[in-house]
Each structure stands twice: as structure tokens, then as C-alpha cells.
Amino acid sequence: MEPKIRIDNIQVVYPGRGRTGPVEAVGGVSLDVADGELVCVVGPSGCGKTTLLRVLADLEQPTSGQITLRRDNPARPLKATVFQGGGIFPWMTVEQNVAYGLQLQGVSPAQRIATARHWIGEIGLERFAHAYPTQLSGGMQQRVGLARAFAFDAEVLLMDEPFGALDAQTRLLLQQTLLQQWERSSKTVMFVTHSIEEALTLGDRVCVMSARPGRLLHEVQVPFARPRDAVALRTDARFSALFAEIWGVLRTEVDRARADEVGA
Amino acid sequence: MNRNRWLSLLSPLVLLGLWELAVQIGWINRIFLPPPSEVFHTLSELIATGQIFRDTGISLLRVGLGFLLGGIPAIVVGLFMGVSPVVRALVQPLAAAIYPIPKIALLPLIIVTLGLGETSKIATIAVSVFFLVVLNVAASVLQVDPRYFEVARSFGARRRDLFWTVALPGSLPGIMNSIKLGMGFALTLIVGVEFVGADSGIGWLIWQAYELYAIDRMIAGLVVVALVGWLITVGLDELEYVLVPWQASSVRIKERRVREHVRIWWTTIRPWSYTAAMIPVLLGASIAAYDGAINWWLLLLTMIGSVAIQLGTNLINEYYDDRKGIDKVQVFGIGGAIQRGELAAWQVLLAGLLAFAVGSGIGLYLVSVTGPFIFWLGVFSVATGFFYTAGPFALAYVGLGELAVFIFMGPVIVIGSYYVQAETITLPVVLASLPVGFLVAAILHANNLRDLDIDRQFGKRTLATLLGRSGANIEYYVLVGGTYVSLIVTVALGVMPWLTLITLVTLPAAVRLMRIVAVETEPHALQPVLRQTAKLHMRFGSLLIFGWVAAWLMGSFGYI
Ligand SMILES: Nc1ncnc2c1ncn2[C@@H]1O[C@H](COP(=O)(O)OP(=O)(O)O)[C@@H](O)[C@H]1O
Ligand SMILES: [Mg+2]
């Protein structure tokens, strides 16, 4: 079967400005994601994860290479993005933010508010439905961004470190929520994170990226059965083995990225 | 209020005091710099003649029209500049080139093309506001974080959606700022514009004062300009709160506190009780009109004065009720802000005294216009108001409340208001005021009737507690019945025009109220009686005034 997402040798070079030369953020990445698969991408910071996701979201033109996202249901939106940090609008209340995608699709106010309410409940912000983002903490804002993407109910979900600013407990809870939602729906998910544990907990597959320019270095099939329990997994012996395997690859890359930053 | 705020009030007051002192001692020549008291006097004259309202009104009209004509297109064009590079390329260089020209320098050019009339003044404001606002609005659109446009696009926003859901709301805080800037600019400008070739407006007033070397008038004009500017700023802040509710700065929190304050004061001054103070004033004036004397300006002043005295009475009442621990159990809580800890007792007292001061000030002015009779009436009114709950013989607590209210809110105000207009008293006026006096006393009595058991428990002596339940019921019938009896008798005597009998349409409502009083003793059942009696007073009073005014108009058209 055709993959849902095909990333074909994508390269992104940011033109330099002034004294800084051009930056090659993504250096030729190829990756196929099957329909309904949840792929996690880990890599040292600054390796081009966000850039890759932006290409998938059509917000960035690749310098070379091609991407294809297959649309299966013309009635549903093709993709929804969870932005790093949430990216929610300060001028809208939590409810308006969550309903935003539906509003653009022309869903009736009553219906989109009902949907928004449901998702606000899922992320545990009922009390803040009518609050403005300035009244929320960074973690709460991230959750709103998450609810907005869920409410949009697209075929493909692109998530950029969605749980980055959350405390450990909330993070666990929301990982559970994501697992449940994903197992129930048939979404294809591209999940970017810098946490190996998170990648192993959530993913069917974990792709490890190199330091800049980002390339795919290594790939791990995650063997845990579904439905998964984010907490119980941690005690599985295979979990630590896989963790060690990925960390082994990543460590040299993190060192390289550091050396790069110091040298630059 | 915290101490720093009081300190910030103190320094201007000290400065004013020193200024006054310096002039009075003779350190400063009063010809060059008149003292605050003289400026205040001049200001009160400008108010009394109504000139300040006329000139301020005209200036505000010019500013308002100029602002709308310049500001609204500026916001639209600015938004277009912000979202469209093409429009930006077309407009930006032109706007940027004209923007730094001091707009007052354009005035001669505008006068040459448009003449000296209103058009040139409004146009100057409009042009200046336009260039200021257009550039600021364009800049605020460009300042919207581009990430928000990406977010919107990732959810499928089209161009139109980008504008309405991102560009416009994202730049609203900036637009609001431009409006504030533009308004401040327009206010500065109007004064300058009116210096040249105007024959009205606040700028003209100042300039004319300069030409006459009337420095007191100049300063009075400046005070008004400052005051108007401040009021507009407050209004725009309020608008910002409505338009940009997501801006969570400390300013907003402060504003919310101000709002809360307004609410507390609003309930404390009992705004619904003022019809009782206004109806007798209007009645007196309408009788005077019937007798051929009406001065609208004096009527307005009398109204304000009467409301101020009523306000002072309410506040002092609140203060002493708290002092004497009377309202501890507030079943139907109007007021009670001191007991709830919302206001400090001294704040209420101060505000009450201030209201009395305003009332007395207006009273003194009326005295200076009409003679000493009003003075004694005023002294009597203030004394009644103050001793209603204050002092050792608090009228309300020795069963004299109804009598005091009857006299003060009935004959005294009606006669006073009539005297201000006609400068005489006639027997018909005294008689005509009786029905209103009866009814206003009935309102107070309805209150005491409702609270009878509680008052007795707490030892508050009202006429109702002194008379007991059945006696108090009879008192209610007497007061309400007296209203209609005195009405019919005075009409029968030919003192009041027969048209005032139109008030009899309220009789069924009055009977209904007496029936309720006859059978009910529970506070909750008597609560509607209080409200309905107040309403009856208002309806009866309005119809009575209507009767007099109708008779006056028919008389002046020769039908009677
Ligand atoms: N708009 C841009 N212009 C120039 N350089 C950029 C831009 N965006 C990102 N970069 C650079 O590209 C590299 C990859 O960035 P990013 O994709 O955000 O990394 P990650 O999300 O993995 O931390 C970084 O070195 C960053 O500095
Ligand atoms: Mg990133």
C-alpha cells in the first residue's frame, strides 16, 4: 500500500543574511509513514526537526526534494499542526482558539462550541474556557494548542514537541490522552520530540536525526503492544534496552551539535 | 485607598494653597497671576452663563467631526497598507513625507482654500489625525507576529480569514493606541486652530481672554481644556477595555478596581431615590410656568442642587446608620457598603459633606440671584437632611421621619423651586405641594412598615414602632388617602387646574396597596408595597406635573 506520507530526499537551506552564511537545516531526509502510523522523530536541538515539520505543513518550501501527503477523505481536513509552544492566538479565548479550525471550515457556532468544549474537557481546562491566553501558564497554552488540533480532526497530525513545557505529571496524563485518541481514531501522526522516553512511549517507530544538517541516522521499531499504558511501559526491560540503543546514537550527535555551536 | 494616592493628591493641593497665599499676601501681583479662588469664581460665572458649555461643546463637535472624517479613513487605509505591500508602496512615501510637517502650519493653506468657516477647522483636524493614525495603524499591522499568520494558514485560512482573524485583531491594540494618540493630537490642535479666525470654541475663549488681558479667564479655560482631555482619556480607556479585552496589563486590573468602586458607590448613593427629589422641583417649576415665569437655567440648577442635597442625605444616613449600628441586620440590603467593608466610614461621610457642599454652593448662587428667602429655606433643608439620622435628635429615630420628609420633600422643595422662578410665594403653591408631601411620606412609612418587627427588636424608634401594627396601618391609609383628598379639595377650591385630576388614574393602584397593607405583616410580603409606593409617587407626581404643564400650555395658547 502507498504510504500516507512520503518524504523524498528533502533538503532545506536557509539563505544567509549579512555575515552569517547559508544554513543547511535539513540535509536530505527520506521517510515513508504508513496510514495510521505514529512516527516519532528525536534529535538534538537545532537539528532541523521543526523545519522538517514546517515543510510537511506547507509553511516552508524545501530547497530540493518532494513531499506527498495522500488525502483519503475529501470531507475531512488533511492535516493539523500542533505548534511548538502552542501558537495560540492571544486575542481569542481558550474556547475560541480551540474552535478556530472548525470556524474556518464553516462549522455552525453551536456545533463548534460543543466540540471545543469536549476537547477543553479532555485537556482539563474547563475552568479556563473563557480565559484569554495571557491568563494561562506556558503549559496550559500548549494544551490549548493540542486541543485545537484534536478538534480539527484531520487525517494527519503534525506535532512539534507538544508536551515540551509541561510538568512531568501533566505530561504523562496528556501522553495517555494522546494514546487513547490515536488508538481510537485512524490518524497518521508525525511526532517531534527531544525526549527518548516519550518517543518510545508513543511511537510505532522512532527515527533518530543527526546534528545539523539533519539527516536520518537510525530507526527503531517499537515492539510494545497496543493499547499501551504510558506508565506501565517504563518497567519493561525492552524499554531500557531501546533507550540505551537510541541514546548511544544520539550522544555523539549531541556532542557534535555542541561542538558546532561552540565553533560557530 | 492607599497612602501614596493621597500624597499624590496632596501636592497639587499644597501648591494651590501656596499660590493662593502668595497672591493674598502680595508676593505675586494678582494682575499677572490671579489666585485660584478668583479663577474658580470666573469658572463658576462661565458655568452660570452657560458660556463654557457652549464653547466646549463647539470645540468638541469640531474635534469629533474632524476625528471621524480623518480617523476612520485612516484606520481603513492603514489596515490596507499593513496587509498589502502594493498599497503600502503607494501610500507610505507620501504619508511619511507629510507626517512630520507640523499640521498647524497647514492651517493658512487650508484657510486659503476652504475659507475661515467651520470647514477649514474640521479639515485641519481631519488631515492631521489622518496622517498620524494611518502610519501608526499600518505599523501595528506589520508588528503582528508572522507566526500567527502561519498558524492560521495551517488551519486553512484564506486571505479573507487572515485579515479578519489575525491581521485585524492582532493589530487592535496598536489601532487603539493610534486612536488615543490621534485624539490627544486633535485636542492639542483644536485650541491652536481656534486661536485664529474663530468666534467660538474653547480656544477662542482663551484667546479672547488674552486679548482682554483677563488672565483669570485664560486659566479657567485651561482648566476646562485639561478636564475635557482627562475625561476623553478615561472614555478611551473604557473603550479599549471593551475592544481589547485580552490585554492583561496591570492597567486593566486597576481599571477593574475602578469599575468595582463605581458599582459600590452607585448602590450606596441609591440612585433610584432621586425621582423623589426631582418631582417636587419640577412641580414647583411647572406651577411657576403656569403663572408665567420659567427660567430653564435656574430650573437645571435647582434640580442639581436638590439631587445633591438628597445625595448628601443618603450618604450621611448611611454613615450614621453604621455609627449607631442600626442596619446590622439588613434584610433588604440597599446600602450597607460600610458594614460590608466596601467603603470606609469616613469616605462616606466625606462624600456626603461634599454633596452638601455642592448643594449649598448651588443654593448660595440661587440666593445671590433670587434673594435671602432661598437662603433660609436652604439652611432648613440642609439641617433637616443632616439631622435626619445624625446628631442627638436624629429625626428618623424619634418617630419624626415622616414629618420631616413630608415637609422637606413636599412643600419646602416645591415652594423653593417655585420661588426661584417667580420670586414670590402664593397660597396655591403651598396647597398644591401637599399631595406630593403625603405620598413621599408614604414611601418612607412603607419602609418602616416593612421593617416594623426588626426595628422594634433593635430599638429603632420610628412612628410605626411607636404606633404599633394597627396604628401604623392606619397611618399608611391616612398618608395615601390624604394625597387624594388634598388633591380633590384643592381642585375643588379652584387652586389647582382641573387638568391635574388626571392623577386620579392612579387611585386603583393606591387602593390595591392599602388592601395589601391591611392583611400582610411579613417583610417579604410588604417589600412590594415599598417599591409600589415609590412608583406611585413617581406616577402621581409626573401626572400632576403633566396636569400643570398642560394647563400652562393650553392657557398660553388661549384655550382657557
Ligand atoms: N528562518 C530561519 N532562517 C535561518 N535559519 C533558521 C531559520 N529557522 C531555523 N533556522 C536554523 O535551522 C536550524 C534548524 O532549526 P529547527 O528546525 O528549528 O531545529 P529543531 O526544531 O530541531 O530544534 C537551526 O540551526 C536554526 O538556527
Ligand atoms: Mg524545534
Of A50, A190, A191, the residue with max ligand 1 atoms within 8 A of its CB, to mutate for a pocket test, comes to: A50
pLDDT band for B248, please (50, 70, 90 cuts).
Answer: low
Q: Are residues A201 and A232 in the same domain?
A: yes
Q: Residues, chain A, total?
A: 264
pLDDT of B560 over the 50 cut: no
**Residue corresponding to grid cell 423651586:** B417
Q: Are residues A90 and A68 in the same domain?
A: no
- Determine whether A156 is exposed, middle or buried from the number of CB atoms within 10 Å of its CB (0-12, 13-18, 19+): buried
Residue B523's pLDDT is 81
Residue A115's pLDDT is 94
pLDDT of A157 over the 90 cut: yes
**What percent of chain A stands above pLDDT 70?**
98
Helix axes B202-211, B168-195, angle to 10 degrees: 30
What would the pLDDT profile of A159-216 be if each residue is shown by its tens digit?
Answer: 999 988 788 888 888 888 888 888 888 889 999 998 999 999 999 999 999 888 888 9
Chain A interface includes B145 (CB < 8 A): no
Q: Which secondary-structure segment (H or E) carries B51?
A: helix B51-83
Residue A173's pLDDT is 86
User: Using CA positions, which residue lies closest to atom 16 of ligand 1?
Assistant: A48
Residue B530's pLDDT is 85
Q: Is A194:A50 a contact under the CB 8 Å cutoff?
A: no
Measure Cα distances from B188 to B102, B201, B229, B236, B256 in Å.
12, 13, 9, 16, 29
Q: Are residues A172 and A228 in the same domain?
A: yes
What would the pLDDT profile of B471-498 be if each residue is shown by its tens digit?
Answer: 888 999 999 999 999 999 999 988 889 8
Nearest by CB: B157 against A57, A58, A104? A104
Residue B329's pLDDT is 44
Q: Does domain B263-556 have CATH number 1.10.600?
A: yes
**CATH 1.10.600: which residues of chain B?**
263-556
**Inter-chain residue contact B151 with A87, CB threshold 8 Å:** yes
Q: Is B302:B420 a contact under the CB 8 Å cutoff?
A: yes
Size of interface A-B (CB pairs under 8 A): 58
> Which chain B residues contact residue A83 at CB under 8 A?
147, 151, 154
DSSP category for residue A108: -
What would the pLDDT profile of A227-236 be if each residue is shown by its tens digit?
Answer: 888 888 888 8
For residue A68, list its beta bridge partners: A6
Give the pLDDT mean for A81-88: 90
User: Using CA positions, which residue lies closest to atom 24 of ligand 1?
Assistant: A46
**Residue corresponding to grid cell 495551517:** B154
Mean pLDDT lowest among A1-10, A106-115, B365-374? B365-374
Q: Are residues A128 and A69 in the same domain?
A: no
A216 lines ligand 1 (CB under 6 A): no
Q: Is B132:B72 a contact under the CB 8 Å cutoff?
A: no
Residue A254's pLDDT is 78
Q: Are residues A40 and A136 in the same domain?
A: no
Final residue in a domain of this structure, among A97, A125, A153:
A153
Tell me the residue range of the domain where A133 lies: 79-153
CA–CA min distance A51, chain B (Å): 13
SS3 A79: strand
pLDDT band for B21, please (50, 70, 90 cuts).
Answer: confident
pLDDT band for A258, please (50, 70, 90 cuts).
Answer: confident
Residue B467's pLDDT is 86
Give the pLDDT mean for B251-262: 64
A54 lines ligand 1 (CB under 6 A): no
Going from the Cα of A227 to the center of ligand 2, the distance in angstroms, rounded, reads 29
Residue B134's pLDDT is 93
Q: Are residues A11 and A134 in the same domain?
A: no
Residue B331's pLDDT is 38
pLDDT of B537 over the 50 cut: yes
Q: Are residues A131 and A175 in the same domain?
A: no
SS3 A157: strand
**Residue corresponding to grid cell 486661536:** B195
A51 lines ligand 1 (CB under 6 A): yes
> How many folded domains does chain A comprise?
2
The ipTM estimated for the assembled molecules is 0.92
Answering whether pTM is above 0.80, one says no
Residue A144's pLDDT is 94
Residue B250's pLDDT is 41
**Inter-chain residue contact B148 with A87, CB threshold 8 Å:** yes
pLDDT of B92 over the 90 cut: no
> Which chain A residues contact residue B242 at CB under 8 A?
none
Residue B147's pLDDT is 92
Q: Is A117:A132 a contact under the CB 8 Å cutoff?
A: no
> From CA B470, how far away is CA B459, in angstroms rounded?
19
Ligand that comes closest to the CA of residue A41: 1
Q: Are residues A195 and A97 in the same domain?
A: no
Final residue in a domain of this structure, among A153, A171, A194:
A153
Residue B4's pLDDT is 66
pLDDT of B25 over the 80 cut: yes
A47 lines ligand 1 (CB under 6 A): yes
Nearest by CB: B151 against A79, A83, A91? A83
Give the pLDDT mean for B290-318: 84
Chain B residue whose CA is closest to A55: B154
Q: Give, in words, the CATH class of B29-243.
A: mainly alpha
pLDDT of B327 over the 80 cut: no
Residue B100's pLDDT is 82
Amino acid at B133: V
Other Cβ atoms within 10 Å of B184 Cβ, number: 15
B contact residues 189-208, partner A, Cβ 8 Å cutoff:
none
pLDDT band for B199, please (50, 70, 90 cuts).
Answer: confident
What would the pLDDT profile of B155-164 be if each residue is shown by its tens digit?
Answer: 999 999 999 9
Q: B457 or A49: whose pLDDT is higher?
A: A49
Q: Are residues A252 and A168 in the same domain?
A: yes
Q: Are residues A143 and A164 in the same domain?
A: no
B contact residues 211-270, partner A, Cβ 8 Å cutoff:
244-248
**CATH 1.10.3720.10: which residues of chain B?**
29-243
Q: Are residues A103 and A7 in the same domain?
A: no
Point out the ligand 1 atom lying closest to the alpha carbon of residue A84: 21
- The CATH number covering residue A169 comes to 3.40.50.300
Name the residue among B437, B439, B448 with its Cα closest to residue B406: B437
pLDDT band for B330, please (50, 70, 90 cuts).
Answer: very low
B224-234: string of b/e by CB count within 10 Å (b at 16+)? bbeebeeebee
pLDDT band for B332, please (50, 70, 90 cuts).
Answer: very low
Residue B70's pLDDT is 93
Tell me the Cα Rg of chain A: 19
Final residue in a domain of this structure, among A113, A136, A153:
A153
Point out the ligand 1 atom lying closest to the alpha carbon of residue A17: 4
pLDDT of B383 over the 90 cut: no
Residue B328's pLDDT is 45
- Which residues are in the CB-under-5-Å shell of ion ligand 2? A 50
Give the pLDDT mean for B124-140: 92
Residue A33's pLDDT is 93
Give the pLDDT mean for B187-212: 89
Q: Are residues A25 and A66 in the same domain?
A: yes
- Determine whether A209 is exposed, middle or buried from the number of CB atoms within 10 Å of its CB (0-12, 13-18, 19+): buried
> From CA B390, how far away is CA A93, in angstroms rounded?
51
